Structure 1
């Protein structure tokens, strides 16, 4: 600041704000539309995995909540075989937040270093960023390292320019991890529905905070600490104004008003 003035900090703050805004629009716009098309709400999903999102926010790593996410997706009605394939694969090939970050950061560095990028250069940069982000690990700081690999492949943008965003990378790490995490949660439910392996009654009951009987799942309920039980009380929102009822044999289920 003493050498270049407050303007340098303002530009970096604008990059952080742009990244957060883009991630917000992607989650609630793109992923929200995908969720709506497949019969559930992005808001209900986020409310359902809010505990895992807090863990990801605190650690800046989507890997920290991987086991809990897989367990919750199974409780939401997705078949175990689908969850076991989609989510671990998504942690390497479905890192939406990392891809958004890499594209914005590369364009920012190009602008800051007065590097002229033609349309073909921008398209090449986007394609390389999409490919290189597939190999990024879901740990803190992986996006920054992957960005270095991307810029080394596209020589138009100087790799040394990464020093400009090193100081603010930590502030964007949480948003990267949260976007990656929500994207993988959406992908597991969508793929399960496409394959006919998603129990819609199970999904609605899980989103509304209800406990399904053992006869529906075929597995005994998982014991949880009292703090988690209190945190998962039935949702009182208007969208959850129906309760799941099961016949004595557990072979049929329907939603009836409370």
Structure 2
């Protein structure tokens, strides 16, 4: 399946974004180093930006899921696509968790760290403090899952409605409006990236990264192996060229890396993949679900960091303990689909449910979480995009919608 240049919004805008981003990064590093006091204040800019962005993207996901369910019902083998999606998500997610545990066990990032807690910023923001059994916290962590469930139920009901076509036209118009607003928000991304980098350098700096560089390196290495090893093999098995595909969505990947959020590219990946001939109906069903159920980057991140803490505290666990941890991560990783930082919340949620790893020095990992956020986000995004492409490839006999390879 070959990618040809397309004159899309992403192609026009992101063509020059790399230069803007590089300038923003350099400026952020300099500002964080030479003006730390002022740079710390810039953290609020990116935080509010992602809150606003999420407020716009969630309705888009809501509409995309409803649209996907309604359109999917018109495909003859819809039930097969549903089962293929479930099987794919479960298989890939399980592989990601096992891969994270394996790399964490082999690399031993938490053993003999020589870390002196007094030299590392271990202050945990109040919004990351989770009380066991707190209903409001559980609802907040699972808000995307609840939102997804409501979307699916609405889609099923609307699919049975006699006014289905009218409602779909309304969804199309609504989605178009939200896409336009979100795209204009992207014009201030270099400013947001500048604030993000300046804040990170001012608060943490390189001195924080060095003692914990092994856990960061383990996460990055596991993600690289997952993308080019696991996804590469899966893609090859279905006659699908992963490298060509990644080159085709490189602009969206850059966007995810620089913002540390896979959701920033959500509206744009539809435009890019649909312009390349992938099934609109299948993509609008697979990709929104992927943002909640196909988060391989989060699975790897949580697995590796749990291994780090197990080794850091020298905790002895048996096979049954790791099996229970695997099950918990399978569930809690689904809460890591929000704005930057949601992966760390999912980690705390995991530790709370597991109960055998103390949270005493959890802020130790928070100090380098932002360095792992890019790898987590881009792995999530690539995994989601590839799932849409592969399910489309499997069902390429839908000749009116799927291009031949």
Question: TM-score range with shorter-chain normalisation?
Answer: 0.7 to 0.9
Distance, in Å, in 2 between the alignment partners of 1:42 and 1:164 is: 36
Moved over 6 A (4+): 1-6
The structure where helix makes up a greater share of residues is 2
Aligned to 1:104: 304
Distance, in Å, in 1 between the alignment partners of 2:278 and 2:330 is: 28
Aligned to 1:199: 402
Distance, in Å, in 2 between the alignment partners of 1:43 and 1:155 is: 41
Is the Cα contact below 8 Å between 1:138 and 1:177 reproduced in 2?
no
Q: 1:33 aligns with which of 221, 225, 233?
A: 233
Is the Cα contact below 8 Å between 1:140 and 1:173 reproduced in 2?
yes
Q: 1:58 aligns with which of 217, 233, 258?
A: 258
Q: 2:385 aligns with which of 179, 182, 185?
A: 185
Is the Cα contact below 8 Å between 2:278 and 2:403 reproduced in 1?
no
The Cα shift of 1:182 comes to: 0.4
Aligned to 1:218: none
- RMSD across aligned positions (CA): 2.2
Is the Cα contact below 8 Å between 1:74 and 1:80 reproduced in 2?
yes
Distance, in Å, in 1 between the alignment partners of 2:326 and 2:359 is: 16
Aligned to 1:220: none
Is the Cα contact below 8 Å between 1:19 and 1:104 reproduced in 2?
yes
Q: Do residues 45 (structure 1) and 245 (structure 2) align?
A: yes
Distance, in Å, in 1 between the alignment partners of 2:403 and 2:279 is: 12
Distance, in Å, in 2 between the alignment partners of 1:156 and 1:3 is: 21
Q: Do residues 132 (structure 1) and 132 (structure 2) align?
A: no
Q: 1:147 aligns with which of 347, 352, 360?
A: 347
List per-residue Cα deviations over 1:143-187 (Å, max 9, x = no partner): 100111111011111123322211110000000000001001110
Q: Do residues 114 (structure 1) and 317 (structure 2) align?
A: no
The Cα shift of 1:194 comes to: 2.1
Distance, in Å, in 2 between the alignment partners of 1:76 and 1:9 is: 40
Corresponding residue SS for 1:116 = coil
Is the Cα contact below 8 Å between 1:109 and 1:164 reproduced in 2?
no
The Cα shift of 1:82 comes to: 0.6
The Cα shift of 1:40 comes to: 2.0
Aligned to 1:16: 216
Aligned to 2:358: 158
Distance, in Å, in 1 between the alignment partners of 2:333 and 2:116 is: 36
Corresponding residue SS for 1:120 = helix
Q: Do residues 92 (structure 1) and 295 (structure 2) align?
A: no
Structure 2 unaligned blocks of 5 or more:
1-114, 121-207
Aligned CA distance change for structure 1 residues 54 and 160 (closer, same or farther; 3 Å) = same
Corresponding residue SS for 2:278 = coil
Aligned to 1:224: none
Is the Cα contact below 8 Å between 2:301 and 2:376 reproduced in 1?
yes
Q: TM-score, normalised by structure 1?
A: 0.73
Structure 1 unaligned blocks of 5 or more:
205-258
Distance, in Å, in 2 between the alignment partners of 1:121 and 1:50 is: 40
1:225-240 counterparts in 2 under 5 A? none
Distance, in Å, in 1 between the alignment partners of 2:378 and 2:350 is: 22
The Cα shift of 1:9 comes to: 6.1
Is the Cα contact below 8 Å between 1:93 and 1:135 reproduced in 2?
no
Aligned CA distance change for structure 1 residues 69 and 78 (closer, same or farther; 3 Å) = same
